[in-house]
Amino acid sequence: MIRYNEIKALPQEEQNAKLLRYFNDWSTRFTLAERVCNAMNQAILHLDVLPGEKISEEKLASVFGISRTPVREGLRRLQDLGLVTLIPNRGAEVVVFSDQEIQKIGLIRIPMDMVAAQQAMYYAGIADFDELERLCDACDKAVQDADLFGRVQWDSAFHLKIVELSRNELLLKYQNENYLRLQYMGITQFTKDQDSLQMVSLHREIVAAMRLHDEKRVCQAIYNHSAPFHHIENIEPHWFKACLLYTSPSPR
């Protein structure tokens, strides 16, 4: 399923130009380390720097015109976000997620998505559900336009909006961090267009179930949406019943 190794690396000069543009896109009100982190995040998510590619501190310092200290700090932040692995005295390397790692993340992500949706359906109003539908539209359009980056970005926006509507700040913090890794996974996994269409179409099923306050239906829709991506189709849906063992908030 993973086919990012079919993508050719950018010529060095073109890659350097893109890295510098990403770096300069961030306002000087950010620290140099933050600008390095944000620039490399963009480069990784756009596959301008490929999975498994080594990142030289010295090279980045030269490209950005800064010292190696903020470059090193920026790479540490990327490691905390789960996008690179630091190599002592050598720089960093963009992570490559195995199928097993993708599965493990799914076993955390899916129950958290279920909990978020169950809580959100009681707090959200008609306008909130309509906003989720608009995010569905944006994701559908990205798939139809073969815009992989847009499809992954809008998919994350959809799920994080649900977490936001849950009014659970701790859950939002965890899922914000989790979904950055998920965006990267989505970018580096190329599936058939029909598979993408089928997956994003389930966004609307999730919203429909939330409008009806149907907990069982919303959990099933979330499972059907995410299980194939995380290679956990062979794990029966009843495995996720454990995530339902909490006290639901009272309806408004």
Residues 6+ apart with CB under 8 A from 3: 189, 190
Phi/psi class of residue 65: alpha, beta or left (left: φ > 0; alpha: ψ in -120 to 50)?
A: left
Q: Residues 187, 47: contact at Cβ < 8 Å?
A: yes
Whether residue 190 is predicted with pLDDT greater than 50 in this model: the reply is: yes
Looking up tokens 């919303």 gives: 218
Q: Distance (Å, rounded) from C-alpha 235 to C-alpha 231?
A: 9
* For residues 30-37, average pLDDT: 96
* Token couple for 35: 């600008």
How much is the pTM?
0.82
- Rounded to 10°, the helix 193-211/148-165 angle is 20
- Residue 245 has a pLDDT of 46
Percent of the chain with pLDDT over 90: 56
Position 135 confidence tier, pLDDT thresholds 50, 70, 90: very high
